[in-house]
A and B are shown apart, each in its own frame.
Chain A
Amino acid sequence: AQSVTQLDSQVPVFEEAPVELRCNYSSSVSVYLFWYVQYPNQGLQLLLKYLSGSTLVKGINGFEAEFNKSQTSFHLRKPSVHISDTAEYFCAVSDRGGGAQKLVFGQGTRLTINP
């Protein structure tokens, strides 16, 4: 079984500042890793995913994340945030097996951008 821990429930930052949202996972098998963003009263939008290969993954809206196998982490970063980045961010994992590949989500991090 997998589990995901998002270490910060809320992260306030000023506009144009850098941000890092932390995610650690636990799994006994190899996993795929995802970051999703949820704007108020909306579904989830895929930001980026790590499947294999380069450990630095670039996504939409200027976000990137780095997979660190030894630290079992997949932290999300953006060098300069905008007001429009205010949203809830979810880290998720799924196993690589041939089964249902269910997603296991973290509790979410609310990113608030202040002007």
Chain B
Amino acid sequence: GAVVSQHPSWVICKSGTSVKIECRSLDFQATTMFWYRQFPKQSLMLMATSNEGSKATYEQGVEKDKFLINHASLTLSTLTVTSAHPEDSSFYICSARVRVGLAGGDTQYFGPGTRLTVL
């Protein structure tokens, strides 16, 4: 149980284009989803927290107009990197969690990640 998928697993795009990454919880309803960014040989940096049906909460220093997050259903959240540039190249990882207070609501389950390369 508690499987989270991401699509695509890797993507290469040209500078200036937009890229959408999907995060799905396959066998549970994720009230909250998180988006992280990981640079090589570094830890995960939280970008934003998204609750189903409401606007995402972005961490300090993360441009909300550049990284658009949509959590339209209890099983799907999307991250769109708009007007991507080479410095946006990174490994993007999502996680999902059931509602706090429910069984398992204390644990985030992670997707396999999406490697974005912007040329």
Contact = CB atoms under 8 A, between A and B. Distances in A.
Nearest to A90: B43
Interface residues of B, number: 25
Interface in A74-102: 90, 94, 98, 100-102
Interface of A is mostly: loop
B68 to A, nearest CB: 19
A105 B107 contact: no
Contact of B107 (A46, A107, A108): A46
Interface residues of A, number: 22
A42 interface: yes
A49 B106 CA distance: 10
A91 B17 CA distance: 36
Interface of B is mostly: strand
B28 interface: no
Given A32-B106, A41-B113, A43-B112, 18 more contacts: A34-B107, A42-B112, A43-B93, A43-B110, A44-B44, A44-B93, A44-B110, A45-B110, A46-B107, A49-B106, A49-B107, A90-B44, A94-B106, A98-B100, A98-B101, A101-B100, A102-B34, A102-B46
Interface of A: 32, 34, 36, 41-46, 49, 51, 90, 94, 98, 100-103, 105-108
